[in-house]
Amino acid sequence: MPISNQLLLEAKEITKYFGTITALENVNLKIHSGECLGVVGDNGAGKTTLMKVLSGLYKPSNGSLFFEGKKEVLESPKDSQNLGLEMVYQDLALAGNLPIGENIFLGREPTRNLGLFKLLDFKKIKELTDAHLGKLKINVKSADQKVEELSGGQRQAVAIARSTAFNAKVVIMDEPTAALAIKEVGKVLDLINSLKKTGVGVIVISHRMDDIFAVCDRVMALFQGTNFAESELSNTSRDEVIGWIMGKK
Amino acid sequence: MDNGKKIIMENKDQEKNSLYLKLIPYFDRYGILLLLLIMIVVMHFLQPDVFLSWRNVTNIFKQISWQSMLALGVFMVIVTAGIDLSVGSIMMLSLMILAIVAKAGAPWFIVVLTPLVAGFLCGLINGMGITLLRMPHPFIMTLGTLYIFRGAGNLISGGTPISGFTDEVRYLGHGRIDLTWLGLEKSQYLPVSLVLIAIVYIIFWIFMNHTRTGKWIYAIGGNPNAARASGVNVNKILVIVYSLCGFLSGIGALILAGRADSGYPNAGLQSELDAIAACIIGGASFFGGRGTVLGVFAGVMIMGILRNGLNLMDVSSFWQQVLIGSIIVLAVYVDVLRRDLGTRK
């Protein structure tokens, strides 16, 4: 059960042009706390563009974003992070050459002061990482392990851990299970369910109906850059959602 | 029975394997120092009287002094998966500016500062070009500035050497720290340039490993999209990296001014390739994100010792070229093998 049904994020009439191409046209989206929204659509329907607008990576050509009821203009991913909005990218956005802990805290590393200089606090990074991975029940050998040494599922877990390490309110996941072995998919879906229980709003972009029907409460379909259909999960069926993806109602 | 045996054997294999795997990170980190040590021992046996003598060892450090600055700068750039071909030209231009300012009669503390500022500004131009002009690859921008900076250096000096600096200006490259108070002989002095190398390398080791900016430099090399998505201002960090690389080339110019007592048109010609070679031998990866400050130092030392040792043995400089080239290929091949073992595919 969701902790509350507070409206966290609302996107109103988002339009995005790339030159002469219209990637999104008047798209609306809402996400509440403790809720999981599935976003589906064919390749090129605008799912990833929409998520990049939400995370501040792209600026919308038109339309506005409201976070907890307040209008916000995002200049960079940093702004959306500061609001408590985190993104887990399809390409995972991890630096393979760095250890798990340093990936989780990348861009927000804890430091300690040494005279005039700020030095990285490796002890604190390790403590916080161990505690956070423990909380999410993610098993890795050590927080010092380099990410390139992990399996696909472990990497996805690290990416999700990264997104939730700073009290995120909304987490956006782009194809969270696409690159995973079947036995690892379940673990990631469990992780999404436990995030929901902590009151986080989760947006999942996925092609996999199994994922959508396993974790989502609501599903919305984009078609050629527009809102095509939307429904509570209990009021729809797989076949209907698959029809939406192909532009049939 | 057979099964039992098999399992025991497998266990043994696994133990062996895990010991092997445990050693990899150490080999990864310190393998290059092992190679350096082997070279020193071999050279010592080949030239027992000369190689490890005080005079020769200080000589090696004096010879590598300015190259070590260029290599350190190029190393940071390579960690970001970039390249800087212009360091030799930056050094030459900075040296010429220093020479002109010195000849104009400026006080020594201003003369000493000029190459540092000039080098930094040259690096800033590289960084701005790569980020603001959105050059498709740093290779192109720095190839351009390789010509531009050297041309500029020749323009301002008329393409002729400018010689004769005061002792203060020459101190970092030429100065000696007297050690007679330790009971050593007058000839057993410490070159100031050696102390400078140590200080600069320690500062940059701390910078690369213990500051956020240093971490971000590695992160950019590992996955620039990850860095960007984490809110790291990638372009800003790149500008900082190229500027610091130019600054280090400026320090190189100051050292060379002391050693050569002259600004000359051929200063640092092709030294960018030596700098890149030292980084590669020292274990930095061209794909970015990999390599250590200690490794670069070892790379510079290996090249310095190789040249010095071959000179002592009267081997022609043509053979030196062949050997250094072979070591580059060998070092990278070892790295390829190590990566095959160490990471998942």
Domain ranges of chain A: 7-95+168-245
**Alpha-carbon distances of B97 from B143, B250, B261, rounded to whole Å:** 21, 10, 14
Lowest mean pLDDT among A77-81, B85-89, B214-218, B279-283: A77-81
Cα dihedral sign for B323, B324, B325, B328?
positive
- pLDDT at position B1, please? 44
In angstroms, what is the C-alpha Rg of chain A? 18
Strand pairing category for A36-41 and A218-223:
parallel
Mean of the per-residue pLDDT values of chain B: 90
CATH of domain B32-333: 1.10.3470
Measured distance between the N- and C-terminal CA atoms of chain A, rounded to whole angstroms:
30
CA distance B242 to A12: 42
Segment A228-249 mean pLDDT: 89
Q: Which two tokens stand for residue B344?
A: 């998942």
Angle at B275 between CA B271 and CA B280, to 5 degrees: 145
> With 80 as the cut, is the pLDDT of residue A28 above it?
yes
Q: Which one has a higher pLDDT value, B174 or A179?
A: B174
Question: Contact B169/B101 with Cβ under 8 angstroms?
Answer: no
* pLDDT classification of B12: cutoffs 50, 70, 90: low
Alpha helices, H only, B50-191: 54-79, 87-103, 108-132, 138-157, 167-174
Q: Which one has a higher pLDDT value, A29 or A198?
A: A29
> With 70 as the cut, is the pLDDT of residue A119 above it?
yes
The closest alpha carbon to A210, from A229, A228, A192, belongs to: A192
Q: Which residue in A has a C-alpha nearest to residue B232's C-alpha?
A: A107
> With 70 as the cut, is the pLDDT of residue B202 above it?
yes
- pLDDT at position B317, please? 86
- pLDDT at position A33, please? 92
Taking any CB pair shorter than 8 Å as contact, residues of chain A touching chain B are 55, 57, 76-78, 81, 87, 89, 91-98, 102-103, 106-109, 111, 117-120, 146, 148-151
Cβ-defined contact of A97 to B218 (cutoff 8 Å) = yes
Share of chain B above pLDDT 90, in %: 72
A31: phi then psi, degrees, rounded to nearest 5: -140, 135
* pLDDT classification of B345: cutoffs 50, 70, 90: very low
Cβ-defined contact of A92 to B229 (cutoff 8 Å) = no
Contacts of A97 (CB under 8 A, 6+ apart): A146, A147, A148, B218, B221, B222, B289, B290
CA distance B247 to B87: 10
- Count of Cβ atoms closer than 10 Å to residue A215 Cβ: 23
- pLDDT at position A2, please? 43
> With 70 as the cut, is the pLDDT of residue B342 above it?
no
Segment A206-213 mean pLDDT: 88
Q: Which two tokens stand for residue A144?
A: 């010092």
- pLDDT at position B340, please? 72
CA distance B269 to B93: 11
Q: What is the pLDDT of residues B292-335, one digit of tens each?
A: 999 999 999 999 999 999 999 999 889 888 988 998 898 888 77
Q: Kindly list the domain boundaries of chain B, sorted by start residue.
A: 32-333
> With 90 as the cut, is the pLDDT of residue B7 above it?
no
Segment B199-222 mean pLDDT: 96
For residue B205, the 8-state DSSP code is H
Segment A166-171 mean pLDDT: 88
The closest alpha carbon to A169, from A103, A78, A86, A92, belongs to: A86
* Bridge partners, B255 (sequence order): none
pTM: 0.86
Q: What is the pLDDT of residues B129-147, one digit of tens each?
A: 999 998 889 999 999 999 9
Residues of A in Cβ contact (< 8 Å) with B343: 146, 148-149
Q: Assign a CATH topology to domain A7-95+168-245.
A: Rossmann fold (3.40.50)
> With 90 as the cut, is the pLDDT of residue B114 above it?
yes
Select from B24, B204, B205, B212 the residue whose CB has the most chain A CBs within 10 Å, as the one to mutate to test that interface: B212
